[in-house]
Homo-oligomer: A and B are copies of this chain.
Amino acid sequence: MTKELHGKKVTVHFNPDNVDVVVAKGDNLLQAAIAAGIRLHASCGGAGTCGTCKVVIEKGEVETIRTARISDSEYARGVRQACQTRILTDLTLKIPAESRIERAIVAREGKNVSAALATGWRFKPPFTKYYVELPPPTLTDNASDLSRLLRGLKQQHGLRNLGVDVEILKTLPKILRSSKWKVTVSIVTTAARDISRDWRRLLVFNVEPGDTRERHYSLAFDIGTTTVCGQLLDLNQGKIIAESIEFNGQIPYGQDVITRITQAEKPGGLKKLQNAVVATVNKVIDNLLAESKVKRKDIGHIMLAGNTTMTQIILGIDPRYLRRAPYTPAANFFPPREARALAIRVRKGVLMFAAPAVSSYVGGDIVSGVVGTGVYQRDKLIFSLDIGTNGEIVIGNSEWLVTASCSAGPAFEGGGIRHGIVATDGAIEDFDIDNKTYEPKIGVIGKSKPKGICGSGLINTIARLLEADVITQNGKFHHSLPTKRVRPGEDGYEYVLAWAPETQIGRDIVITEIDIENLIRAKAAMYAGCQTLSKSAGVSCAAFDQVIIAGAFGSHLNIRSAITIGLLPELPEDRFIFVGNGSLLGARLVSFSTDLLDDTRRIAAMMTNIELSDSADFMDAYTAAMFLPHTHAEVFPEVTRRLSQRQKNIKQ
């Protein structure tokens, strides 16, 4: 396979993919890899700071800027950061396993999801199909085709005041006649801007010959910064008939929303990012169609939930002001958009709806999660959190809802961690340690040799290292333990999780003090967000009747470990419920129920957003949380008791 770019040409050959790309001499190597369809990590968006886009130059010459991310031995072996490298001659490269983005495991839904679902809604999808049989026109009744159709819909189904997509008129005359005046009409519920007044509008967007009611499908999407998850829904049966997940094609442009926004601000950047995520959406649709054997033309509705940045980018709306004080999104309520106009491959006229946003950092994904999990319907006090690159928190019940977003950074998804990877095959997820020998016992996703460690693995590892007194409550290693596993490294002390021969990558997999510090920062941000928000709402963390955990972790997060490191508040374990991808859950339920679509709009308008980025309370809480589990031992009494007990045991 050869793809052409531009200018004076050199060829870059990628192994083990056996792919060539022809680029101009002087081109950037990361860009060349993107052009060749090779997906590399690039957490920092090509700034050179994360060191995740390493490649090995096997043949040919490059010009490179060496950063601290490349060790002497790596440099000697030809390892370079793709983003820092310009191509001078024909090249042959090898892509190491850990640099490559592979398909993540599907985030399984939590075990007790049914305990945390919106209730009381009627099954009435916003996309509906109506079958009508019309009297053929005669000389005494030669009303227009459209008038006849609308008259039939009124008489046979009581539908009035329908809007009509003018595009259907192009084929309507032929379809009515070829079908002998028996057709199925697709109608979608759209909304006026003003939620207080008669907001539902019905739009006729498709007419098909014959009775096609049995083929009635829609798509629900969660557009995450890291992954795009899609479900194909059967709207007759109200169930998921296929599910697929792909990495967001924007990852090579940066791992978090801030980097993405920065990229979007460059000339042509927004278009590139939009194309990248649309390509991913199209890939997910292809997967869903292949899996289900459903035909593309039978999809009639797309409901999408995403954070505000993702939503604006996919709609082609400049996101630059999202990251600048005072952090204003372009809109809270995004009018629906014809999906085809965004290059999403579905039939003409199908509208894409985006869940409304509360603010720049509390997006449609959160609103969708609140609706899906029914937080807004509960009498009990609910604490709901979505753990990801952006941590989003909602506290409240049927009376009130407050929300905040805190920038946790990519650590929970393996970003910014020396051997951090997403929860793919080869990721260390479970960890235990022998209290005497300090030898580890690791569990790897897919039961293969490890190639890195994922977010939930990190939490488990740090919790156990703390309990085994291998690290201090500051997150620093004890230096004098009788084990080779703890040793000085480039980033301070480190613990060897797996020796090189036991791994897929041929190098020791370690957890470093920098990694621990990054994770402490991330958990401190989440916990401080929770505290600040609780305080502003006048409640205490101890008062939560239920904690709903959403996010990429799914049910893989070990509650006990998360409490041990001070990520989650110390509450009885039976108060925690995992819902997996709450955003996708909400998008699905809204696809099933126009009642919930109403609720989505109502909730986005009623949620109070607390801006943490400039809050002094938050900074205080954050500083206090930069300790394992917390500077104020009294908020984690049981963990504190356990840690002091364990230390006593070990010392005996």
- Write the residues of chain A forming the contact surface with B, with a CB cutoff of 8 angstroms: 137-139, 141-148, 150, 160-166, 169-174, 177, 192-194, 197-198, 201, 312, 315-318, 320-321, 325-337, 357, 359-360, 611, 614
Tell me which residues across on chain B come within 8 A of A137, comparing CB atoms. Answer: 326, 328
Please give the distance in Å from A450's CB to the nearest CB on chain B.
Answer: 44
Option from B148, B162, B197, B332 in Cβ contact (under 8 Å) with A193: B162
> Which residues of B are found within 8 Å of A198, using beta-carbon distances?
198
Hey, which chain B residues are within 8 Å of A315, CB to CB? 166, 169-170
Copies of this chain, whole number: 2
How long is the Cα–Cα vector from A311 to B146 in the complex, in angstroms? 15
Q: Is B139's CB under 8 angstroms from A325's CB?
A: yes
User: Given A169-B315, A173-B320: A335 and B164 within 8 A (CB)?
Assistant: yes
Residues of B within 8 A of A326 (CB): 137-139, 141-142
Assembled-state Cα–Cα distance A360/B150 (Å): 18
A171-B312 Cα distance, complex, nearest whole Å: 11
Q: Is the CB of A146 within 8 A of B192?
A: no
Question: Is B161's CB under 8 angstroms from A192's CB?
Answer: yes
Complex contact A330–B611 (CB within 8 A): no
B residues within 8 A CB of A359? 142, 144
Q: Is A330 within 8 A of B144, CB to CB?
A: yes
Contact of A174 among B142, B148, B318 (CB under 8 A): B318
- The verdict on A335 contacting B166 (CB below 8 Å), with A144-B330, A325-B139 known, is yes
Q: List 18 A-B contacts (CB under 8 A).
A: A137-B328, A139-B611, A144-B357, A146-B333, A147-B332, A161-B193, A165-B335, A166-B335, A169-B312, A169-B315, A170-B317, A170-B318, A171-B318, A172-B330, A173-B318, A173-B321, A173-B330, A177-B321
Interface centre among A137, A331, A611 (most CB of B within 10 A): A331
Residues of chain B with a CB closer than 8 A to A141's CB: 326
- In the complex, the chain B residue whose C-beta lies closest to that of A321 is B173
Instruction: State the Cβ distance, A332 to closest chain B Cβ, in Å.
Output: 5
Assembled-state Cα–Cα distance A228/B594 (Å): 46
- Apart from A139-B325, A144-B332, A169-B331: 15 A-B pairs, beta carbons within 8 A: A139-B611, A139-B614, A142-B326, A142-B359, A143-B332, A144-B330, A147-B331, A160-B194, A161-B193, A161-B194, A162-B193, A163-B192, A166-B336, A169-B317, A177-B321
**A197 to B166 CA separation, bound complex (whole angstroms):** 20
CA distance A312 to B171 in the complex (A): 11
| Identity of the chain B residue whose Cβ is nearest the Cβ of A332 in the assembled complex | B144
Nearest CB of chain B from residue A636's CB, rounded to whole Å: 32
How long is the Cα–Cα vector from A332 to B146 in the complex, in angstroms? 7
CA of A318 to CA of B169, assembled, Å: 8
Closest to A331 in B: B146
The A interface, classified by DSSP as helix, strand, loop or mixed, is: loop
Complexed CA–CA distance, A201 and B203 (Å): 14
CA distance A138 to B142 in the complex (A): 60
Contact A193 B163 (CB under 8 A): yes
Contact partners of A142 in chain B: CB under 8 A: 326-328, 359-360, 611
Min C-beta distance of A361 to chain B, whole Å:
10
| Chain B residues in 8 Å Cβ range of A164 | 193, 331, 335
Interface centre among A197, A312, A330 (most CB of B within 10 A): A330
A142 to B325, CA, bound (A): 9
A165 to B312, CA, bound (A): 15
Closest chain B residue to A333 by CB distance?
Answer: B146
Out of B170, B174, B320, B325, which one reaches A316, CB within 8 Å?
B170
Docked CA distance A160–B197 (Å) = 10
Which residues of B are found within 8 Å of A163, using beta-carbon distances? 192-193, 335
Interchain CB contact under 8 A, A173 and B611: no
Contacts of A201 in B (CB 8 A): 192
Complexed CA–CA distance, A164 and B335 (Å): 7
Contact of B329 with A144 in the complex, beta carbons under 8 Å: yes
Task: Say yes or no: A334 contacts B166, CB within 8 Å.
Answer: yes
A314 to B336, CA, bound (A): 26
Which of the listed residues A139, A193, A316, A614 has the most CB atoms from chain B within 10 Å of its own CB?
A193
Q: Which residue of B lies closest to A336 (CB)?
A: B166
What distance in Å separates the Cβ of A559 from its nearest Cβ neighbour in chain B? 35
Closest 10 CB pairs of A and B: A146-B331, A161-B194, A166-B335, A142-B326, A144-B329, A144-B332, A139-B326, A169-B317, A169-B330, A137-B328
Chain B residues with CB below 8 A from A165, complex form: 335
Within the complex, the shortest CB–CB distance from A277 to chain B, in Å, comes to: 16
Shortest CB distance A334–B (Å): 7
Distance between Cα atoms of A161 and B195 in the complex (Å): 8
Cβ contacts under 8 Å, A318 to chain B: 170-171, 173-174
Nearest B residue to A613 by beta-carbon distance? Answer: B139
Q: How distant is A314 from chain B, measured CB to nearest CB, in Å?
A: 12
Bound CA–CA A481/B194 (angstroms) = 81
Q: How far is the CB of A165 from chain B (nearest CB, A)?
A: 7
C-alpha spacing A172/B143, complex, angstroms? 43
Question: Provided the pairs A147-B332, A161-B194 are in contact, do residues A317 and B173 lie with their beta carbons within 8 angstroms?
Answer: yes
Which residues on the B side are within 8 Å of A614 (C-beta)? 139
Given A173-B321, A318-B171, A335-B165, decide whether A328 and B144 contact each other with a Cβ distance below 8 A. Answer: yes
